[in-house]
C-alpha cells in the first residue's frame, strides 16, 4: 500500500510538472524573502534567463528600478487576505528591455495555513499593449482629424458667407458707382449752367429796370400783365430762386462725390487715400439715419488729426467704417427707444470719430458711441462669424467678423473693442501707412 501511494504521488507530481512546463504563461515561485525557487520554460522564453541562472537569485533581477517596492506591497496584500489578479506591471528581460505583463499572484501556505512563499503566473501582454496604444493613437488621430475637419468646415462656411457678402458689397459698389456716374453728368450740366443762367438773369433784370426808368408810363396791357405776374416780387425773388438751385446742385454734387468715394470702383484696389474722405463719404451715405425720426437725431463729433495719405484698399476700409457706424446707430436707436424725450435732451446720442498718428508708420481711427455699452461676455464673441445680438432678420452676424478680417488680414492692422457697460462702446482700428503683403 505504501509503495502504491508513493507511486501515485510521483505520478501526480509528474503531471503537475508537465502542466507547469507546458503552460504558455511564465510560472514562478519564490520565498517571502524574494528568492526564486521555481522557474518554468515559459519563464525562460519570456525573460531570457535559464532556470539555473535564476534559481536562488533574488527576484529584483527582474524588477526595473521604479518597481522595486511592488513586491513588498504584493506580500502585504496577500497577508491581508486580498487576491491579486490581472495586475498589470512591467518586468525586465535579461537584455534590459522592458516587458508589459499581467500577474496573477497566489500565496503558498504550509499545513498550518501560514504563508511561506508566493506563486506567480505572468502573461506577456506587450502585443495587446501595443495594439491598445496603437488604438489610442488612432483614436486620437481620428479625433484630431474630426476637429480639423470641423474647423475646416467652419472656415469654408465663413469663407462662403464672406464671398457672398463680398459679392453683395461688390454689387452694391457697382450699383452705387453706376448711379453716381449716371447722376454725375446731368448734375454737372445743371451746376455748370447755373452761373451763366444767373448772369443772363441779372442782365435781363438790369434791362428791365432801364425800361422802367425811361418808360415809366406803361400801356394798359403791360400794366395788367405786370400786376398779373407780380413783377416786383418776381424781380426780387428770381435771384434767390437761382441761388437756392445752386445750393441744391452743390448738395447733389457732394452726395455724388461721396457715393463715388465710397464705392471706389474706378480705382486700383490698393491706393494711397485720405482716410477722412472715406469716413466722411460713409457719414454722408448714412446721413438719413443720423437725422433719425421727428426730433431725434445723433450728434456727430469729428476729431480728425493730421494724417498722411494711407496706402490701403479704400472700398474695403469704407465697408469697415460702414459696419461699425451702422452698429453704433443701431445701438443708440435701440437705447433711445426706451428713453423719454427729456432724457434724450439731457444726454443726446453721440458718435465720436477720432483719428491720429500713433508713430511714423501707423494710423489710428477710433469710432465711439455713448450708448449702453457691451457686456464683457459679449465683447469676447464680437468678431466671431455669425455672432449677433440683433433679433432675427436684423443682421447676419457677419459685419464685424468681415471687418476684423479686412483690417487684420487685408491690411495687417488690428481691430478691437473697448466698452464700459452702461456708458460707451469704442472700436479702435489701427493700420500701417504703407500696405504690406
pLDDT digits (tens, 9 = 90+) for 327-375: 898 888 888 888 888 888 888 889 999 999 988 889 999 999 998 888 8
pLDDT value at 4 more than 90: no
User: What is the Cα–Cα distance from 152 to 165, expressed in whole angstroms?
Assistant: 19
pTM reported for the whole predicted model: 0.48
| Of 73, 70, 29, residue with least CA distance to 51 | 29
- CA 225, distance to chain mean position in Å, is 76
Q: Are 156 and 85 members of one domain?
A: no
pLDDT value at 293 more than 70: no
Tell me the backbone φ, ψ of residue 239, rounded to 5 degrees.
Answer: -60, -40
pLDDT at position 303 is 93
| Of 382, 328, 319, 324, residue with least CA distance to 162 | 319
Element at 132 (helix H, strand E): helix 126-214
Q: Which residue range is the domain that position 48 belongs to?
A: 11-129
Task: Please state, in angstroms and as integers, the Cα–Cα distance from residue 192 to each residue in 4, 209, 245, 363, 409, following that order.
Answer: 138, 27, 12, 38, 44
pLDDT band at 383 (very low <50, low <70, confident <90, very high): confident
Mean predicted confidence (pLDDT) in 232-240: 82
339, burial (CB in 10 Å: exposed 0-12, middle 13-18, buried 19+): middle
The verdict on residue 135 lying in a domain is no
pLDDT value at 250 more than 60: yes
Q: Are 344 and 373 members of one domain?
A: yes
The domain that holds 52 is classified in CATH as 3.30.450.20
Q: Are 277 and 425 members of one domain?
A: yes
Q: Are 405 and 298 members of one domain?
A: yes
| Percentage of the chain exceeding pLDDT 90 | 10
Q: Are 405 and 285 members of one domain?
A: yes
Cβ pair 89, 101 in contact under 8 A? yes
Give the 3-state secondary structure of residue 9: helix
Q: Are 65 and 185 members of one domain?
A: no
The domain that holds 296 is classified in CATH as 3.30.565.10
Q: Are 67 and 93 members of one domain?
A: yes
Q: Are 316 and 369 members of one domain?
A: yes
pLDDT at position 339 is 83
- Which of 234, 266, 298 is where one domain is finished? 266
Give the 3-state secondary structure of residue 329: helix
- CA 143, distance to chain mean position in Å, is 22
Helices then strands, counting H and E runs in the chain, come out as 13, 12
Q: Are 252 and 187 members of one domain?
A: yes
Q: Are 210 and 123 members of one domain?
A: no
Q: Are 25 and 67 members of one domain?
A: yes
Amino acid at each position: 500500500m505504501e509503495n502504491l501511494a508513493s507511486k501515485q504521488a510521483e505520478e501526480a507530481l509528474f503531471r503537475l510538472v508537465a502542466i507547469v512546463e507546458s503552460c504558455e504563461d511564465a510560472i514562478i515561485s519564490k520565498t517571502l524573502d524574494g528568492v526564486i525557487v521555481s522557474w518554468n520554460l515559459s519563464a525562460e522564453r519570456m525573460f531570457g534567463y535559464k532556470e539555473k541562472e535564476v534559481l536562488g537569485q533574488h527576484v529584483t533581477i527582474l524588477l526595473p528600478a521604479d518597481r522595486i517596492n511592488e513586491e513588498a506591497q504584493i506580500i502585504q496584500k496577500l497577508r491581508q487576505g486580498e487576491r491579486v489578479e490581472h495586475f498589470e506591471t512591467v518586468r525586465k528581460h535579461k537584455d534590459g528591455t522592458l516587458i508589459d505583463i499581467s500577474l496573477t499572484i497566489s500565496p503558498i501556505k504550509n499545513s498550518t495555513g501560514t504563508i511561506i512563499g508566493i506563486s506567480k503566473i505572468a502573461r506577456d501582454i506587450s502585443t495587446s499593449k501595443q495594439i491598445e496604444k496603437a488604438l489610442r493613437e488612432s483614436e486620437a488621430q481620428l479625433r484630431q482629424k474630426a476637429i480639423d475637419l470641423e474647423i475646416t468646415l467652419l472656415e469654408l462656411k465663413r469663407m462662403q458667407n464672406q464671398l457672398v457678402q463680398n459679392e453683395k458689397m461688390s454689387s452694391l459698389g457697382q450699383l452705387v458707382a453706376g448711379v453716381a456716374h449716371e447722376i454725375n453728368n446731368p448734375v454737372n450740366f445743371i451746376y455748370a449752367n447755373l452761373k451763366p443762367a444767373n448772369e443772363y438773369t441779372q442782365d435781363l433784370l438790369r434791362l428791365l429796370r432801364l425800361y422802367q426808368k425811361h418808360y415809366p408810363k406803361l400801356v394798359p396791357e403791360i400794366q395788367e400783365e405786370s400786376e398779373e405776374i407780380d413783377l416786383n416780387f418776381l424781380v426780387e425773388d428770381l435771384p434767390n430762386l437761382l441761388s437756392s438751385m445752386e445750393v441744391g446742385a452743390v448738395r447733389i454734387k457732394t452726395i455724388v462725390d461721396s457715393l463715388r468715394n465710397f464705392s471706389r470702383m474706378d480705382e486700383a484696389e490698393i491706393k494711397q487715400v485720405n482716410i477722412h474722405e472715406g469716413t466722411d463719404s460713409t457719414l454722408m451715405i448714412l446721413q438719413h439715419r443720423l437725422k433719425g425720426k421727428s426730433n431725434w437725431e445723433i450728434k456727430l463729433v469729428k476729431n480728425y488729426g493730421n494724417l498722411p495719405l494711407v496706402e490701403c484698399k479704400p472700398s474695403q476700409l469704407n465697408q469697415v467704417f460702414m459696419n461699425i457706424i451702422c452698429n453704433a446707430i443701431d445701438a443708440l436707436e435701440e437705447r433711445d427707444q426706451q428713453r423719454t424725450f427729456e432724457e434724450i435732451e439731457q444726454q443726446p446720442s453721440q458718435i465720436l470719430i477720432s483719428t491720429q498718428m500713433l508713430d511714423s508708420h501707423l494710423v489710428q481711427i477710433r469710432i465711439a458711441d455713448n450708448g449702453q455699452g457691451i457686456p464683457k461676455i459679449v465683447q469676447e464673441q464680437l468678431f466671431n462669424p455669425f455672432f449677433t445680438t440683433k433679433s432675427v432678420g436684423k443682421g447676419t452676424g457677419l459685419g464685424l467678423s468681415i471687418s476684423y478680417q479686412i483690417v487684420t488680414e487685408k491690411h495687417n492692422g488690428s481691430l478691437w473693442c473697448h466698452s464700459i457697460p452702461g456708458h460707451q462702446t469704442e472700436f479702435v482700428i489701427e493700420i500701417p501707412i504703407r500696405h504690406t503683403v
